[in-house]
Amino acid sequence: MDGDPLALPHSTRPAYALRDRRSGLLAAFDDAGPVVDELLAGLTEPATPPTAAAAALGVRLAQGDDDLDVLTRSLARLRQLVLEQLHDAGLAGDLAAARTVHAHLDRLTEASTAAFLREREAQVLSMVAHDVSNPLMSICLIAGFFEERLGPEHRRSTDTLQRAAQQLRQLVRDVQDVADILAGPLTIAPLLVDLGDVVGEVVGQLEPLARARGVKLAATPPAGALPLHGERERLVQALGCLVRAAIKVS
């Protein structure tokens, strides 16, 4: 693209100048192309600045076990190159152009940093859920062993152990769900399930907890099936959270 950027309106000068110098910006870091193109697109259409490529950069570096400093240095290098290219294009003294460029670079930096931190948080939560699930499996096996072999006089103790194990299992599932949500969109394959069966399963899980607190928990079976589309396990989790909270305040 040939021409004098200073002859253009202020709003289009940065995009015009940097498009001509795109190759000079690619030295900011490896695979800088998507982020550079995102910068140029945002400068061209400032009303809706895209940030998907910047977020993807943050996720990629987090998954590669890089420190946040690596991401910060990469984006600082891109900012330096952008300013150098604007200087070479004769826009060093154009304050309006500088404000526009810095504002969009700030948005890209914010998006990439937030994505980096979300990915790292998801990794930590997933690791915690995995590390807790292994000893929890042993607890569940031992609890089942005791329940089968101990007499009625020990029923209260085994019920307490089973309730504690169930609460830990729910906690592990919740932590893993949060990790999945932070790592990316949560995908659910809805199937046709019977709401009555879901309610019955929740009551079966939480009835020992309710009994221990002196609360009567029961469900009246519906006259017929109550079909709905959803994921059974997550419906049980959601309803179980509501019922568990009601038991605790009863």
Query: Does the pLDDT at position 221 exceed 80?
Result: no
Return the amino acid letter for 135: P
Residues ≥6 apart with Cβ < 8 Å to 243: 202, 203, 206, 217
Cα separation of 101 and 60, whole Å? Answer: 24
pLDDT at 184: 63
Give pLDDT tens digits for 197-207: 889 888 888 88
Distance from the Cα of residue 202 to its chain's centroid? 27
- Helix, strand, or coil (residue 75): helix
Nearest-10 crossing angle of helices 195-212, 155-183: 130
pLDDT at 188: 55
Cα separation of 164 and 175, whole Å? Answer: 16
Q: Which of 4, 79, 94 is nearest to 35 (CA)?
A: 79
- pLDDT higher at 171 or 116: 116
**If pLDDT is split at 50, 70 and 90, which confidence band does 50 have?**
confident
pLDDT at 108: 92
Are 59 and 113 contacting, i.e. CB atoms less than 8 angstroms apart?
no
pLDDT at 193: 86
The burial class, CB within 10 Å (0-12 / 13-18 / 19+), for 211 is middle
The burial class, CB within 10 Å (0-12 / 13-18 / 19+), for 249 is exposed
Give pLDDT tens digits for 20-31: 888 888 888 888
Are 112 and 71 contacting, i.e. CB atoms less than 8 angstroms apart?
yes
**If pLDDT is split at 50, 70 and 90, which confidence band does 244 have?**
confident
Give pLDDT tens digits for 135-182: 777 777 777 777 767 777 677 777 777 777 777 777 777 777 777 777
Cα separation of 199 and 163, whole Å? Answer: 18
Greatest mean pLDDT range, 60-64, 144-148, 155-159, 243-247: 60-64
pLDDT at 2: 47
Return the amino acid letter for 215: V
**If pLDDT is split at 50, 70 and 90, which confidence band does 189 have?**
low
